[in-house]
C-alpha cells in the first residue's frame, strides 16, 4: 500500500505543487476581487465534473466492474466494456454541454443590458477595472449599467467565462475513464502526473496568452478581457491531460472501438452505481459548489478568498487522502470480489490509520501557520496584505476538518468496493443539506470563515454515520488497534500545534517577514520543529503507521544510497 500510494503521492505532490504555483500566479494576476470571483465560480462548474468523475463517482463505479471483467471474463471483454462506457460517456457529455451552452447563451441574451456589451463583446470600460479597486468601481457605477431584470457585471462575466470553459467537461470525462482503467491495471503514477500537465498549460495561459489580450485597452482596464485567456487555457489544459494518458493505455493493449452503449449491461450498471455515487463520494466538492453559489451574491471576495483556502487544504488532502483512496478502491474491490473480508477489514484499517497519522499533523500546521503560509505563497501583485488576512482566516476555519474530509472519502470508497452506493448517498444527502443550512447561517456574520466551519461540522457527522453503517454492513470493523492510537496522536498533535504557533510568533517578533528568506523561515522552521516532535512522539508511543512509514522511508533511502 505504501509503495503504490507513495508513488502516486509523489506524482500527486508534483501536480499539486504545480497547482499551487498556478494558484499563486492566478492570485497575483487577479487578487481577490470580483473578477477573480467570476473566474473561480465559472471554472468551478466544469472543474466540479473533474472532481466528481476523475476523483470520484465515475471511477468508483467503473473500477470494480472493470476489475470484475478482467478477473472473470478476460481482457477482451474488459476492453470491450471499457469502450462501451467511453462511447456512452461521449454521447451524454456532448448532450449536457450543448444544453448548458444553449442555456447560458439564452441567459446572456435576455439578462445583459445593452450598455454592458460593446461591439467587440467586451464589458464597458467602467466595469473593466482592476480587481483591487473593483468594489469601489461597482459601487460608484451609474445605475443604468445594470437595470432591474438584468444581471450585474459580475454575473455577466461569470456566464461568459462559463460559456468558454464548460466544454472542458467532455475532456475531463474521457480523462476520468482512462485514469480509472490505468489505476485498475496497476498504474498510479502516470494518471496522477496528468494533472501536472494540466497545471503547466494553465500557468502558461497567464504568462504567455493573457498579455496578448486587450492590447488596445489601457493597462488598468485589461483584466476582465485578459481573464478570457485563462478560460481558453483551461480548454487547452484539458486536451493535454487527456492526451497524456493515451500512450500508457496503448502499451497496455487498449484500442478504442465504438461500442453501442444502448442496452449494454456494463454501461447500465455503471450508470446505476454512478448516479448515487456522485453524491456519496464527492460531498465536499458539492458542498463547496453550493456554498460558493450563495457566496457569489453575498459579497465581493468571498468566493476567491474561500477558494484560496480550499486550494491550500487540498494539497495534503490530495497527497494522502486521495492517493490512498485511489489505491484502496481497486484493492478493496478485488478483496470483496474474492469474499476475503478479514483482509478487507485489515487493509481498510491500515489505510485509515496511515491517513489519520499524516493528515492530523497537516491539519494542525495549516491551522496554526495559516497566516505565514498564505503570505509566503500568495502575497504579491494584486494580492495584498488585506487579502492575506481574509484567506488565512478562511484557512484557519477550514483546516480542522481535513482529517474528517479525507476519512469520508476512504469510507465511501469501502462501500463502493462492496457494491453499495446507496448508503453513502443517503448519508451525503443528509450532510449536504445540513452543510448548506449551517453555512448560509454562518456566512453572513463570519463571511469566508462560515463555509469552513460548516464543512467541519458536517464532515464529522458524515464520518460517524459512515462508520456506523459500515460496521453494520460488515458485522464488525476490527478497529480496536486504530482506536488505541487516537489519544497519543491527539496529544502529539496538540503539542506540535503549540510548538508551531510559538515558533512562528517568536520568529515574527524577532525577525519579521520583510524578505522571501524570512517568509520561508516563518513557515518551515516552526513546521519542521513541530513535525519532528509529532513524528518522534508517535514512534515513542509505538504508533504502527509511524513505524511502518519510517521503515519504508529508510529502506528507500538505503536503496538510493
Structure confidence by residue, pLDDT tens digits, 295-350: 877 777 788 888 888 888 888 877 776 667 767 777 788 788 788 888 888 888 88
pLDDT at 369 exceeding the cut of 60:
yes
Q: Are 425 and 274 in contact (CB under 8 A)?
A: no
Does residue 484 lie in a domain region?
A: no
Output the pLDDT for position 519.
95
Confidence of residue 116 (pLDDT cuts 50, 70, 90): very low
Tell me the C-alpha distance between 486 and 495, whole Å. 14
Residue 4 in domain: no
- Give domain status of residue 99, yes or no: yes
Record the cell numbers describing residue 320, joined without a space.
494522502
Predicted pLDDT of residue 53: 58
Cell of 429: 444527502
Cell 496584505 sits on residue? 385
Q: Does residue 179 carry a pLDDT above 60?
A: yes
Q: In terms of pLDDT, which residue wins out, 379 or 47?
A: 379
Contact 529, 507 (CB under 8 A): no
- Are the C-beta atoms of residues 403 and 362 closer than 8 Å to each other? no
Sign of the C-alpha dihedral, residues 297, 394, 464, 61? positive
Question: What CA–CA distance (Å, rounded) separates 273 from 57?
Answer: 8
Instruction: Look up residue 524 and give its three cell numbers.
Output: 518551515
Burial 492-522 (b: 16+ CB within 10 A, else e): bbeebbebbbebbeebeeeeebeeeeebebb
Residue 102 resides in a domain: yes
Model pTM?
0.73
Q: What is the pLDDT of residue 511?
A: 92
Cα separation, 25 vs 200, in Å, equals 11
Q: If residue 51 lies in a helix (H) or strand (E), which one and from where to where?
A: none
Average pLDDT, stretch 115-141? 37
Cα separation of 534 and 96, whole Å? 48
| pLDDT above 80 for 69 | no
Whether the pLDDT of residue 540 is over 80: the answer is yes
Please indicate, yes or no, if residue 270 is contained in any of the structural domains. yes
How far apart are alpha carbons 172 and 235 in whole angstroms? 10
Residue 137: pLDDT above 80?
Answer: no
DSSP state of 475: S
Mean pLDDT calculated for residue range 495-522: 94
The Cβ of residue 111 has, within 10 Å, a number of other Cβ atoms equal to: 16
Q: Within a domain: residue 229?
A: yes
Within a domain: 331: no
Lowest mean pLDDT among 89-103, 116-130, 179-193, 417-431: 116-130
Count of alpha carbons within 13 angstroms of residue 310, beta-carbon side: 22
Reading the block at residue 489, the C-alpha cell is 496522536
Using CA atoms in the order 170, 172, 174, 177, what is the torsion angle rounded to 10 degrees?
-140
Q: Is residue 188 part of a domain?
A: yes
Q: What is the rounded distance in angstroms from the CA atom of residue 370 to the CA atom of residue 452?
A: 13
Residue 239: pLDDT over 80: yes
Which of left, alpha, beta for 381 (phi over 0: left; psi -120 to 50: alpha)?
Answer: left
Q: Residue 192's domain spans which residues?
A: 12-275
| DSSP category for residue 263 | T
pLDDT score recorded for residue 8 = 58
Spatial CA neighbour of 455 closest among 280, 298, 284: 284
pLDDT tens, 19-35?
A: 888 888 888 888 777 88
Q: CA nearest 181: which of 71, 92, 63?
A: 63
- The rounded mean pLDDT for the chain is 80
Domain tally, the chain? 1
The CA distance from 495 to 22, in Å, is 33
If you write DSSP's letter for every residue of 202-245 in order, what string do you get? HHHIIIIIGGGSSTTS-GGG-HHHHHHHHHHHHHHHHHHHHHHH
Nearest 10 degrees: CA dihedral of 33, 34, 39, 43? 100
- Note the pLDDT tens digit of each residue in 266-293: 787 777 777 665 655 555 567 667 777 7
Give the C-alpha separation, 250 to 240, whole Å: 16
Whole-number Å distance between alpha carbons of 66 and 61: 9
Contact (Cβ atoms closer than 8 angstroms) between residue 550 and residue 534: no
- In the chain, pLDDT over 70 holds for what percent of residues? 81
**The pLDDT value given to residue 499:** 96
Give the pLDDT mean for 457-465: 92
Amino acid at each position: 500500500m505504501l509503495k503504490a500510494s507513495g508513488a502516486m503521492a509523489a506524482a500527486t505532490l508534483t501536480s499539486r505543487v504545480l497547482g499551487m504555483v498556478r494558484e499563486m500566479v492566478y492570485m497575483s494576476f487577479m487578487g481577490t476581487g470580483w473578477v477573480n470571483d467570476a473566474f473561480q465560480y465559472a471554472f468551478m462548474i466544469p472543474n466540479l465534473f473533474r472532481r466528481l468523475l476523475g476523483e470520484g463517482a465515475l471511477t468508483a463505479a467503473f473500477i470494480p466492474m472493470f476489475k470484475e471483467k478482467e478477473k472473470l471474463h478476460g481482457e477482451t471483454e474488459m476492453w470491450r466494456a471499457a469502450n462501451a462506457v467511453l462511447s456512452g460517456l461521449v454521447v451524454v457529455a456532448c448532450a449536457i454541454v450543448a444544453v448548458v451552452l444553449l442555456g447560458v447563451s439564452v441567459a446572456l441574451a435576455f439578462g445583459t443590458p445593452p450598455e454592458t456589451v460593446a461591439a467587440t463583446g467586451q464589458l464597458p470600460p467602467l466595469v473593466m477595472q482592476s480587481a483591487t479597486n473593483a468594489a469601489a468601481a461597482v459601487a460608484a457605477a451609474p445605475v443604468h449599467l445594470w437595470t432591474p431584470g438584468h444581471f450585474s457585471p459580475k454575473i455577466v462575466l461569470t456566464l461568459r467565462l462559463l460559456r468558454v470553459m464548460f466544454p472542458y467537461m467532455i475532456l475531463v470525462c474521457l480523462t476520468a475513464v482512462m485514469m480509472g482503467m490505468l489505476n485498475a491495471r496497476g498504474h498510479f503514477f502516470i494518471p496522477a502526473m496528468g494533472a501536472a500537465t494540466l497545471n503547466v498549460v494553465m500557468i502558461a495561459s497567464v504568462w504567455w496568452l493573457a498579455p496578448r489580450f486587450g492590447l488596445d485597452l489601457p493597462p488598468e482596464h485589461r483584466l476582465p478581457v485578459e481573464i478570457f485567456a485563462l478560460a481558453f487555457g483551461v480548454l487547452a489544459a484539458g486536451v493535454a491531460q487527456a492526451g497524456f494518458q493515451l500512450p500508457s493505455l496503448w502499451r497496455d493493449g487498449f484500442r478504442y472501438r465504438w461500442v453501442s452503449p444502448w442496452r449494454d449491461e456494463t454501461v447500465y450498471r455503471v450508470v446505476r452505481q454512478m448516479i448515487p455515487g456522485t453524491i456519496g463520494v464527492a460531498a465536499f466538492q458539492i458542498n463547496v459548489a453550493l456554498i460558493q453559489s450563495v457566496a457569489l451574491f453575498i459579497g465581493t471576495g468571498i468566493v476567491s478568498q474561500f477558494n484560496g483556502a480550499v486550494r491550500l487544504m487540498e494539497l495534503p488532502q490530495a497527497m494522502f487522502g486521495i492517493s490512498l483512496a485511489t489505491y484502496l478502491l481497486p484493492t478493496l474491490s478485488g478483496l470483496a470480489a474474492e469474499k476475503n473480508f478479514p483482509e478487507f477489514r485489515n487493509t481498510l484499517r491500515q489505510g485509515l490509520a496511515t491517513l489519520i497519522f499524516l493528515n492530523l499533523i497537516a491539519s494542525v500546521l495549516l491551522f496554526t501557520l495559516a497566516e505565514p503560509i498564505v503570505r509566503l505563497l500568495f502575497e504579491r501583485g494584486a494580492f495584498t496584505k488585506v487579502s492575506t488576512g481574509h484567506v488565512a482566516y478562511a484557512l484557519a476555519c477550514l483546516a480542522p476538518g481535513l482529517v474528517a474530509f479525507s476519512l469520508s472519502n476512504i469510507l465511501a470508497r469501502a462501500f463502493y468496493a462492496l457494491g453499495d452506493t446507496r448508503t453513502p448517498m443517503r448519508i451525503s444527502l443528509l450532510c449536504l443539506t445540513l452543510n448548506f443550512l449551517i453555512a448560509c447561517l454562518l456566512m453572513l456574520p463570519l463571511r469566508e470563515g462560515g463555509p469552513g466551519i460548516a464543512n467541519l461540522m458536517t464532515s464529522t457527522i458524515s464520518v460517524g454515520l459512515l462508520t456506523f453503517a459500515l460496521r453494520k454492513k460488515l458485522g464488525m470493523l476490527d478497529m480496536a488497534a486504530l482506536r488505541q492510537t487516537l489519544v497519543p496522536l491527539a496529544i502529539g498533535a496538540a503539542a506540535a500545534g503549540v510548538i508551531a504557533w510559538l515558533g512562528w510568533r517568536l520568529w515574527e517578533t524577532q525577525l519579521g517577514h520583510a524578505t522571501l528568506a524570512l517568509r520561508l523561515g516563518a513557515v518551515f522552521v516552526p513546521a519542521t520543529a513541530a513535525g519532528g516532535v509529532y513524528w518522534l512522539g508517535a514512534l515513542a508511543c509505538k504508533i504502527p503507521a509511524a513505524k511502518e512509514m519510517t521503515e519504508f522511508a529508510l529502506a528507500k533511502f538505503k536503496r538510493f544510497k
